[in-house]
């Protein structure tokens, strides 16, 4: 387990080795108690433990990362570098701008932190696991709640409880008028398990 540094600015705290759960609790204690702080604390705790696919600054630009910390976890100082050392190759993500546009279009203007959430989700979409796992959330249920909170009008469209990563990409296809599905309806499609199969496992 890599060392996780979490210390108030301008004061000295010894570097501590913390578990993901301890790190989460430390973050929550310093948080602004917003719903997003709960999910971001999970994401950051997992990321500091070297899990998930998120790169340096969670995929945000450094000033955005600092703004997010100031807003959600005032006084906390967290290293920008991904403990996993992972570097994402956005050159193989041709849909990056479209995904960012989709999420920006639907983000809730009533939620301050939703300004930063899209870039984190887009970075996680480069991973090959379920979106909640690539983000570092602790269960699919947490991801569903995060999306409903930050992108309510988009999330409500997922009426059949499609896997979230698949759902986002399907929105892009439909926006472009592309229908890449191999069947006229999901009910008769051989790919059904990939789009709707269970992904309910959680870390705990």
* Site for ligand SF4, rule CB under 6 A: 170, 181, 183, 186, 189, 191-192, 195
Of 16 and 129, which CB lies nearer to ligand SF4 in the complex structure? Answer: 129
Task: Outline where the chain has alpha helix (H).
Answer: 20-29, 35-48, 62-72, 96-106, 117-124, 131-135, 140-150, 152-155, 164-176, 192-196
Q: Please list, in sequence order, all residues whose beta carbon lies within 8 angstroms of the beta carbon of residue 26, skipping any fewer than 6 positions away.
A: 6, 18
As measured in angstroms, the least distance from the Cβ of 18 to ligand SF4 is 40
Question: Nearer Cβ to ligand SF4, position 8 or 197?
Answer: 197
Please identify, using beta-carbon distances, which residue of 34 and 144 lies nearer to ligand SF4: 144
Going by C-alpha positions, the residue among 198, 197, 102, 195 that lies closest to residue 150 is: 102
What's the CA gap between 204 and 139, in Å, rounded? 8
Nearer to ligand SF4, 87 or 190 (CB): 190
Least distance to ligand SF4, CB of residue 174, Å: 10
**Nearest approach, Cβ of residue 163 and ligand SF4 (Å):** 9
Least distance between ligand SF4 and beta carbon 79 (Å): 39
Q: How far apart are CA 51 and CA 191, in angstroms?
A: 29
């Amino acid at each position: 387990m890599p060392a996780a540094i979490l210390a108030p600015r301008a004061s000295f705290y010894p570097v501590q080795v913390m578990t993901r759960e301890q790190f989460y609790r430390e973050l929550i204690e310093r948080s602004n108690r917003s719903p997003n702080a709960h999910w971001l604390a999970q994401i950051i705790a997992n990321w500091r433990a070297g899990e998930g696919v998120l790169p340096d600054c969670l995929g945000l630009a450094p000033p955005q990362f600092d703004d997010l910390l100031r807003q959600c976890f005032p006084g906390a100082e967290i290293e920008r570098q991904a403990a996993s050392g992972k570097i994402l190759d956005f050159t193989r993500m041709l849909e990056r701008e479209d995904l960012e546009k989709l999420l920006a279009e639907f983000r809730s203007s009533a939620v301050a932190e939703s300004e930063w959430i899209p870039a984190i989700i887009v970075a996680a979409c480069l991973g090959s696991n379920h979106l909640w796992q690539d983000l570092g959330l602790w269960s699919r249920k947490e991801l569903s709640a995060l999306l409903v909170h930050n992108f309510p009008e988009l999330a409500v469209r997922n009426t059949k409880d499609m896997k979230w990563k698949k759902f986002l990409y399907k929105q892009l296809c439909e926006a472009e008028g592309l229908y890449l599905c191999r069947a006229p309806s999901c009910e008769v499609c051989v790919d059904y398990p990939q789009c709707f199969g269970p992904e309910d496992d959680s870390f705990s």
